[in-house]
Amino acid sequence: MDILNFVLNLCVPPASMIMLAFSWPALCFLNACEWLYNSIYGEDMDNKVVIITGASSGIGEQIAYEYAMRGANLMLVARKEHRLRGIAENARRMGARHVMIMAADVVKEDDCRRFINETISFYGRLDHLVNTVSLGHTFYFEEVTDTSVFPVLLDINFWGNVYPTLVALPYLHQSNGRVIINASVESWLPLPRMSLYAAAKAALLNFYETLRFELKDEVGVTIATHGWIGSEMTSGKFMLEEGAEMQWKEEREVHVTGGPVEEFARLIVSGACRGDAYVKYPSWYDVFLLYRVFAPRVLNWAFRLLISPQGTRRSSSYVGTGGRPLGVEGRPMLEGTSPINNPSLTFSGQLSHPMQQKLD
């Protein structure tokens, strides 16, 4: 058996690469034809029904506007209802046929049943489910002092996608609908200080790839993988309430460059309507996959060189530390425009402060 594997190890990779090189032009041609056909005869969202989770900010909000401009009926879901109200108003102005909102926690299965049942009883159908909920973090794994943050990060970033999908699937089968997921380039290209986020995104990717097989062509799956997109998440901002926001100082010092959220949202929605299996932004990240398989050490060296710890404090924000200070050296630097000075932030972006109840 070892000899067999030895021979296969020697033969299969080069033979596959040669086959791929020869078939590449034909594959590209077929993909281009399919793309053109689907662009012309893609799904018309006029009067269709779309649920968007995580619609209260960033990419989710912009996706809501994209569907609105296509004349869809919307159900917008997030925990901050007051933010959803303003976004619903904008969506109506932009052309949405009808907009419903619901405050819900996607980590709770009952909440997912509530907003999906409400959608079905009002609109009578469901065509697209767009999952955009997430929670990022910026701590080194070894800095964690309170492991209670671990399940929370996994809950939001993984189960928060799975529960709505499970509840929505019977209705998506009826409409030959589609699930759209926001993974991240981190699902296969991990970066430091985002270990649990990257792990959850990798789990998400594998879960939906498996689901794609199981669903065959009855329900489509579009997986969006993107790098840095300018949004509240990447600017390290917690929105506590309208006009009261707080940023992690460290995050603001990091210059985030990336395509605009609007552009990415447009790409996702047009990709979903075309029936694309993947939406990548920017797509040149794919080349790192080759390095990961064939030259992982080069990738490792390059990252160590590029992402040097110099200039970045080893400490991070309170995110993921359960609100506990990290020690004098590791004290997170919080600066905010909020009237609340230096409250104890927890990983969930909420305050363990008397003000918390008021903000909730």
Q: How many residues touch ligand NAP (CB under 6 A)?
A: 30
Of 129 and 233, CB closest to ligand NAP: 233
Full strand arrangement of the beta sheet holding 244-248? 237-241, 244-248, 334-336
Residue at 47: amino acid letter: N
Give every CB contact of residue 139 below 8 A, 6+ residues apart in sequence. 193, 316, 317, 319, 320, 321
Q: Which two tokens stand for residue 195?
A: 């270990």
Whole-number Å distance between alpha carbons of 19 and 26: 12
The reply to whether 180 sits near ligand NAP by the rule CB under 6 A is no
Side-chain half-sphere of 65: how many Cα atoms within 13 Å? 19
131 in Cβ contact with 112 (< 8 Å):
no
User: Which span (67-75, 167-175, 226-234, 275-283) binds ligand NAP, by CB under 6 A?
Assistant: 226-234
> Is residue 195 near ligand NAP by the rule CB under 6 A?
no
Position among 138, 165, 184, 317 found at the interface with ligand NAP (CB under 6 A): 184
> Can residue 200 be called a binding residue for ligand NAP (CB under 6 A)?
no
Residues 238-277 within binding reach of ligand NAP (CB under 6 A): 258
Instruction: Name the minimum Å distance from CB 105 to ligand NAP.
Output: 4
The closest residue (CB) to ligand NAP is 58
Smaller CB separation from ligand NAP, 56 or 315: 56
Contact present, 161 and 184 (Cβ < 8 Å): no
Spot the catalytic one: 65, 67, 197, 318.
197
DSSP assignment of 232-276 equals: TTTTTEEEEETTEEEEEHHHHHS----B-HHHHHHHHHHHHHHT-
Q: Which of residues 278-337 bind ligand NAP (CB under 6 A)?
A: none
Region of 91-99, 103-111, 164-172, 295-303 interacting with ligand NAP (CB under 6 A): 103-111
CA distance 150 to 244: 27
**For residue 360, which amino acid is it?**
D
Q: What pairing do the DSSP bridges indicate for beta strands 244-248 and 237-241?
A: antiparallel
CB nearer ligand NAP, residue 160 or residue 336: 160
Tokens 């879901």 locate to 77
Q: CA angle, 124 as apex, 120 and 129 as ends, to 5°?
A: 55
User: Rounded CA gap, 193 and 137, in Å?
Assistant: 7
Is residue 182 at the binding interface for ligand NAP, with CB under 6 A as the rule?
yes
CA atoms within 13 A on the CB side of 121: 6
Active site residue 37: no
Considering only 144-152, 223-231, 244-252, 331-339, which stretch makes contact with ligand NAP by CB under 6 A?
Answer: 223-231
Q: How far is the CB of 53 from ligand NAP (least distance, A)?
A: 6
SS3 51: strand
Cβ-based burial of 12 (10 A; exposed 0-12, middle 13-18, buried ≥19): exposed
String of contacts with ligand NAP for each residue 108-147, x by CB under 6 A: ------------------------xxxx------------
Stretch that binds ligand NAP, among 24-32, 72-80, 244-252, 298-306 (CB under 6 A): 72-80
Minimum distance from residue 239 beta carbon to ligand NAP (Å): 7
Instruction: Give the nearer residue to ligand NAP in terms of CB position, either 245 or 330.
Output: 245
Taking CB under 6 A as the rule, does residue 91 contact ligand NAP? no
The catalytic residues are 197
| Residues found near ligand NAP in the complex (CB under 6 A) | 53-54, 56-60, 78-80, 83, 105-107, 132-135, 156, 160, 182, 184, 226, 228-229, 231-234, 258
